[in-house]
Structure 1
Amino acid sequence: MKVLAICGSLRRGSYNRSLLRTTAALAPAGMEVEVVGIEGVPLFDEDLEKQGAPEAVANLRRKGKAADGLLFGCPEYNYGIAGPLKNAFDWLSRPDGEPRTPFVGRPVALLGASMSLIGTARAQLQLRQSLQGTGALTMPSPEVFVIRAQDKFDAEGTLTDQPTRDAVARLMAAFGNWIAKLKG
């Protein structure tokens, strides 16, 4: 089972990038998680799209289509979804010559980390709304909102907080079951 984990932050030392690396380490047996960034994805522009998908977009689309499920590491900026993540999502949601969005019927899960006291709850809610509009099958629970991320990761980006690691492991096990249920 292949999962493409998309980091919605451009920062190299992003807590969300570290969180996604943790999902790969805690994935259940039989699940392979590939963590990718969205660096190089240009601003969405229909005129540019008509010329053909830029290479960064085409690469992300190829990987997304080859995956059994998509996992979004969702940062929160100013009480909402991060601009770079929304931009990448907008590119990915386009049909690319197909009759419908590639998200239709696609198993998706979300998680996120923030330095705030409520984690990324608002951003995840906004992304869930966009995913619903594209026909994605977003896993309803468990949800993971890593709060006070600066206290839960060490200087190398390793998630050191055991309760949070346990929550991530539960999410990944549930996501594996979600994918299997929807594929079966």
Structure 2
Amino acid sequence: MADIKVLTLLGSLRAASINRQLAELAAESAPEGISVTIYEGLGDLPFYNEDLDTEDAPAAVAALRAAAAEADAALVVTPEYNGSIPGVLKNAIDWLSRPYGNGALKDKPLAVIGAALGQYGGVWAHDETRKSFGIAGPRVIETIKLSLPTATFGGKHPRETAEVAEAVREVVGKLAAEVS
């Protein structure tokens, strides 16, 4: 059987962000038979504009939609910015929701995890991201949740915390099990 392809959409553009580290951990620790790829082009997307959303959509949009179409599932790893979804991620949701009712992630399983400052680890942003993606077309798996306060890591890479590494591996496994 071919690998299950999980596309990871990262809500932080910072090269050394804790959420990028979580995404890298998901990719390096994925169970056998599951490949996790971090999408690197969210920062290249223009702001959603229906006037640009034509058959000649910008190359960055076409690349995102193609990557989503090739994936079997999506894992969103995101921080919380001002109590909500980072703009770069919300913009990606908007582009991926089109064409309306038939976006590239339509009916594919999607899970949202991440880390943020504060004791709740980004729960508000994660809930808002699930809601927005749920409207946009993927099949959001509400039971897959992992919201970690950044203090959990004590300044270390998430892979250095056994409980976090195992939790991320479990998230990827559970998400892949939702692929039909």
CA distance in 2, matches of 1:46, 1:29: 40
Q: Is 1:64 matched with 2:68?
A: yes
Query: What is aligned with 2:10?
Result: 7
CA distance in 1, matches of 2:57, 2:135: 22
Partner AA of 1:130 in structure 2: S
CA distance in 2, matches of 1:165, 1:2: 20
Offset at 1:178? 1.3
Offset at 1:171? 0.9
Name the % identity: 33
Deviates more, 1:33-42 or 1:48-57: 48-57
Q: Is 1:137 matched with 2:139?
A: yes
Normalising by the residue count of structure 2, what TM-score does the alignment of the two structures yield? 0.89
Change in 2 beyond 3 A, CA 1:20/1:153 = farther
How do 1:5-154 and structure 2 match up within 5 A?
5-37=8-40, 38-50=42-54, 52-95=56-99, 100-149=102-151, 151-152=153-154, 154=156
Aligned CA-pair RMSD: 1.9
Q: Is 1:164 matched with 2:164?
A: yes
Partner AA of 1:116 in structure 2: G
Unaligned runs of 5+ in 1: none
CA distance in 2, matches of 1:153, 1:53: 41
Offset at 1:99? 6.3
Contact 1:10-1:39 within 8 A present in 2 as well: yes
CA distance in 2, matches of 1:40, 1:177: 31
Contact 1:115-1:150 within 8 A present in 2 as well: no
SS in 1 for 2:47: coil
Query: 1:121-161 deviations in whole A, cap 9, x for unaligned?
Result: 1011111111221232111223111212573553xx45322
Aligned length: 176
